[in-house]
């Protein structure tokens, strides 16, 4: 699902991923061309760090939202990993959140960071 999300961002917003951290090669950010603000971060995180069951890493996308409190109760959406938890959430890219919902959250994040 990670590649599907990244392809969606590239096609809809004409934005390529930026890999900023050599130490974290699976992490990339997407930002606006004009104001350089991030609207998404994609990465792979150990499930134990997110306090969810399982041993393997899981792909996530961090997005900005104005519905943090509401979204925290939705399965597959967690407090943001390594971002401001008042404005950002982490969305699991393991299929627990339907792609149509991931797209809506991405659109919201894009608009909020314009």
Give pLDDT tens digits for 58-103: 999 999 999 787 887 889 999 888 887 889 999 999 999 999 999 9
Q: How many domains does the chain have?
A: 1
pTM: 0.92
Q: CA dihedral in degrees (84, 51, 55, 83; nearest 10)? A: 0
Q: What is the pLDDT of residues 8-43, one digit of tens each?
A: 999 999 999 999 999 999 999 999 999 999 999 999
Q: Report how far residue 39's alpha carbon sits from residue 17's, in angstroms, rounded to the nearest whole number.
A: 11
CATH number at residue 90: 3.90.1150.30
Residue 48 has pLDDT above 90, yes or no: no
Residue 44 has pLDDT above 80, yes or no: yes
Structural domain span for residue 19: 2-112
**Mean predicted confidence (pLDDT) in 37-59:** 91
Asked whether the beta carbons of 59 and 94 are under 8 A apart, the reply is: yes
DSSP the chain: -HHHHHHHHHHHH----B---TT-TT-EEEE-TTT--EEEEEEEEEHHHHT-S-SSEEEEEEEE-S-HHHHTTSTTEEEPTTS-TTTEEEEE-SSSS-HHHHHHHHHHHHHHT-
């Amino acid at each position: 699902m990670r590649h599907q999300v990244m392809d969606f961002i590239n096609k809809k917003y004409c934005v390529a991923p930026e890999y900023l951290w050599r130490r974290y090669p699976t992490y990339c950010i997407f930002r606006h061309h004009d104001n350089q603000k991030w609207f998404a971060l994609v990465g792979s995180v150990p499930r134990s760090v997110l306090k969810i069951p399982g041993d393997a890493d899981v792909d996530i996308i961090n997005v900005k939202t104005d519905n943090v409190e509401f979204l925290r109760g939705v399965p597959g959406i967690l407090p943001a990993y390594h971002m401001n938890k008042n404005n950002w959430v982490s969305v699991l890219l393991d299929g627990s959140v339907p792609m149509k919902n991931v797209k809506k959250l991405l659109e919201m994040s894009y608009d909020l960071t314009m």
